[in-house]
Amino acid sequence: MFVIGIAGGTGSGKTTVVNQIINELPSEEICVISQDSYYRKTDNLTYEERTKINFDHPRAIDFELLVSHLETLKKGKIIEQPIYSFVAHNRTKDTLKTHPRKVIIIEGILIFNSKELRELCDIKVFVHADADERLIRRVRRDIKERGRDINEVLDRYQDTLKPMHEQFIEPTKNFADIIIPGGGHNKVAIDVVRTVINDRL
């Protein structure tokens, strides 16, 4: 089993990189685990309280469960991956049955903040994009897919996203084995990652 960690700031192009990698591999040989599925349960909070959570701080992630699930997959066992609702700011009651595969991709903005998670990765990739490009992508995504309004997105970016990126995400670039500048448009760098995967397979 080959585990790839793909990190980078919000809107950096991680999903594009992941899709370009998996599109070149047989679907039965690869699975993707998203950090976004592992935000902590917030059943004890009201909706208003949940909207005030800093989701860009490492404390918001249930790293214990994420590491445990990855270790289970590495033992060849199936996991029940949580499903998170960004509209409700909470996990749903549903889960996603995830089977062990030859290649496991873990992607998320904060995954390199966990030493245990980093140590389970065979290769660590950081996707880098300019701040203005990341902001534009974030605005478009949050309005279109998550039902936010423009003021809410911009306030969150200014109050939490930007300072959290500078404190917790950008420094983890130092843990990366490969840095992909230019986000998901860097075909050469993505081809290098694919070559490494194919060599291992």
Nearest to 119 by CA among 159, 156, 74, 78: 74
- Looking at residue 6, its pLDDT comes to 96
- Looking at residue 104, its pLDDT comes to 95
pLDDT tens-digit profile, the chain (201 residues): 999 999 998 878 888 899 988 887 888 889 999 999 999 999 899 988 998 888 899 999 999 999 999 999 999 999 999 999 988 888 999 999 999 999 999 999 999 999 999 999 999 999 987 777 777 777 777 787 666 778 777 777 777 888 898 999 999 999 999 999 887 778 888 888 888 888 877
Q: How many domains does the chain have?
A: 1
Which are the contacts of 86, defined by CB distance < 8 A and separation ≥ 6? 36, 145, 146
Q: Any idea what the CATH number is for the domain that residue 180 is in?
A: 3.40.50.300
For residue 72, what are the CA distances in angstroms to 57, 87, 122, 151?
26, 29, 16, 41
Nearest to 114 by CA among 183, 168, 54, 76: 168
Q: Is 65:41 a contact under the CB 8 Å cutoff?
A: no
- Looking at residue 167, its pLDDT comes to 94
- Scanning the chain, the segments in alpha helix (DSSP H) are 14-22, 47-51, 63-74, 115-120, 131-146, 150-156, 162-164, 187-200
Range of the domain at 98: 2-200
Q: Classify residue 109 by burial, with Cβ atoms within 10 Å: 0-12, 13-18, 19+.
A: buried
